[in-house]
Amino acid sequence: MNIRPAVSADGTRISDIARKSYESSYSLAPGTIDGILEEQFSKAALTDRIEASANLLFVAEADDGAGVDIQGFVDATAESEVTIGWLHVHPEARGQGIGTALVERIQEARGDRPLAARVLSSAVEGGEFFEQFGLRRSGSAHSTIGGEEHSVVLFTEPVRGEK
């Protein structure tokens, strides 16, 4: 497996993985998925995030049996803290350590900044996954994504000295 920074040419595959992930692991209506994809994973939106200095977008390449292809991605903002906003692995590639490798790459890139994650509450597996990295549920919020309001669960690292 190879983890590398995303480039604009990866946009179509990233969008495809996001769609497959939403369809298999989220309780979202098809129109809602289309709205999220249009807003967050269009070619223009991805290119903007790939080129932004305050963004970390990595892809995981692995052999899918037909050759090496992108199997997952992680997208985080890197400001005073590094916040993972999107982490998707193609459903057929799950269980191979791809999501773990992507989060570990974000951990390496964050430097001394604290790590956080935002997970749509409609995600079936998201929160439990981030707890494996020492993040804990710290609150909730609402975000407008794809023209609809969504409940989001926030995960953060404990403050030093807390358990």
User: Which residue spans within the chain are E strands per DSSP?
Assistant: 2-5, 55-63, 68-78, 82-89, 115-120, 136-145, 148-156
Confidence at residue 59, expressed as pLDDT on a 0 to 100 scale: 97
Residue 152 falls inside a structural domain: yes
CA 144, chain centre distance (Å)? 17
Confidence at residue 61, expressed as pLDDT on a 0 to 100 scale: 95
Distance CA 126, CA 25 (A): 9
Residue in this structure with the two tokens 């990866």, named with its chain if needed: 10
| 81 and 49 Cβ atoms separated by less than 8 Å | no
Residue 20 falls inside a structural domain: yes
Which pair of structure tokens corresponds to residue 107? 């951990």
Helices vs. strands in the chain: H and E counts, helices first: 5, 7
Cβ-based neighbour number of residue 52 at 10 Å: 12
Residue 163 falls inside a structural domain: no
Residue 161 falls inside a structural domain: no
Residue 145 falls inside a structural domain: yes
Pairing mode, if any, of strands 136-145 and 82-89?
unpaired
Distance CA 150, CA 27 (A): 12
In terms of C-beta density within 10 A (0-12 exposed, 13-18 middle, 19 or more buried), how is residue 70 classed? Answer: buried
Q: How many domains does the chain have?
A: 1
Query: Would you give per-residue pLDDT tens digits along the chain (163 residues)?
Result: 999 999 999 999 999 999 998 888 777 778 888 888 898 899 999 999 999 888 999 999 987 777 779 999 999 999 889 999 999 999 998 899 999 999 999 999 998 899 999 888 766 567 788 888 989 888 887 777 767 787 888 889 886 545 5
Domain of residue 149, CATH code: 3.40.630.30
| 13 and 50 Cβ atoms separated by less than 8 Å | no
Residue 162 falls inside a structural domain: no
Confidence at residue 147, expressed as pLDDT on a 0 to 100 scale: 76
Domain that holds residue 118: 2-156
Confidence at residue 161, expressed as pLDDT on a 0 to 100 scale: 47
Which pair of structure tokens corresponds to residue 9? 């040419």
